[in-house]
Structures are given as C-alpha cells and as structure tokens.
Chain A
C-alpha cells in the first residue's frame, strides 16, 4: 500500500467544522482512500472511503483532489466525542492482502 502523510495533531473548537488533510502523492489508479479513527481506549472504527468522487455519509465528508494526490476528511460540526486519532489509509482494490496499514495519523483535540 502506498504511503500517506498527515499532520501529527490538530485542534478544533466544538461545533466548528474540521478539515483533516492527507497527502498521498504516490497513489495508484487502483488505490482507494480510507479513513478510520480511534477514540481513546477503543479499537479503530471506519469513517469513510472513496476513489475519485467526493463522498458523504452520516459521520463525515471526504473531499478528493482532482489529481488524487491529496484528500481532506471533513467533520461538519466537531463534538467532544470526535476527539480521536484519525488515520488516512490507501488500500489497493483487487489486492491479495486484506489488512490495513496504519500510519501515525492525526490526533484531533476538540475544545469546548
């Protein structure tokens, strides 16, 4: 799986939008962009994934650059419960390996 680069940490105020960036300049055409998050003392949980088009679900939105070399996870209104480490992961569609390769992620702090 190709490598991703994320800021080590970010801060946000409660009820404000949060934009979490991810760079993946070596992404290949068959790589999907996945986001997971890990709340304190919990296992990771799936947030969203996409290939080329922007994606929305009940948790977040994913904005993917036209050249696919970067993406942004958008939390529309941060809550204290969104404080977590957010991982951006590339996963090759059709690959033989099922596992996800986690980097260091971005630790998001949310201030009341």
Chain B
C-alpha cells in the first residue's frame, strides 16, 4: 500500500509564476491536509479538505493560494504569482477519518518550493 505521494519533490519558480503542488493520499483515505514549513520553523496548518469539499481553510493566506481535492485525481495546492516568501517545504497528509475517530495522519515527503 503506497504512502502519501507528493510531486514534484522540488519545484523552482521565478517570481510571478504559478506553482502547482500535487498530493495523492493513501489508498482509501478521503481526508487531505496541507501544511507549510518555513526554514527553521514548525509546520503550519493551511487547509483541510475532503473529497470535493474544503472543510477548514483557516490557515490559508487570503490571496494567491487555493486548494482543491476533486472527486477523481490528486489534491492540488495552487499558488499564483509566487513571491520569495512562498519558498518553503509544503507537506500533504491524509487520513481515513477525522479527529472524531482519532485517526492518525500520514504525511508525504513534501515539495520543496524555491522562488527565485
């Protein structure tokens, strides 16, 4: 059973370009979470999605950032018009259920975004 798959592993963008980060959850998991980790800092929650629905986006910046988890295919974190401050490691996690069932989260290896 493959784990959480994130791609690309490394992504380089110039300022003003768009970045698309993909996350395929573990088989059978319908809950996806995105986290961002700035250099030398802890993980910050961004958004929590279930299939086709955004459940909690309280950690998402108000502009330029969006996320989706379509019925078919991976979850996508999209960053428009990237700036140098967006440079970070972005981690995706998935779970079978929610805190209501005390499910543990499984994390991917992350996408390292570098903005030139």
Residues of A within 8 A of B (CB): 32, 34, 36, 38, 41-46, 49, 87, 91-105
Contacts and interface: CB of A to CB of B under 8 A. Distances in A.
Contacts of B104: 34, 46, 49
Contacts, number: 72
A104 B42 contact: yes
A98 B42 contact: no
A101 B46 CA distance: 10
Given A32-B102, A95-B99, A98-B55, A43 B110 contact: yes
Given A93-B100, A99-B45, A100-B45, A46 B106 contact: yes
Given A45-B106, A94-B99, 7 more contacts: A44-B107, A45-B107, A91-B102, A96-B100, A98-B56, A102-B45, A105-B42
A15 to B, nearest CB: 28
Given A97-B48, A98-B55, A102-B42, A43 B100 contact: no
Contacts of A102: 35, 42-45
B7 interface: no
Contacts of A92: 99
A36 B105 CA distance: 9
A101 B33 contact: no
Interface string B63-103: 00000000000000000000000000001010101111011
Nearest to A93: B102
Contacts of B106: 45-46
Given A34-B104, A43-B91, A46-B106, A97 B99 contact: yes
Contacts of A97: 48, 55-56, 98-99
B62 to A, nearest CB: 18
26 contacts: A32-B102, A41-B109, A42-B109, A43-B93, A43-B108, A44-B43, A44-B91, A44-B93, A44-B105, A46-B105, A49-B102, A87-B42, A94-B100, A95-B99, A97-B55, A97-B56, A97-B99, A98-B98, A99-B45, A99-B56, A100-B45, A100-B105, A101-B45, A102-B35, A102-B43, A102-B45
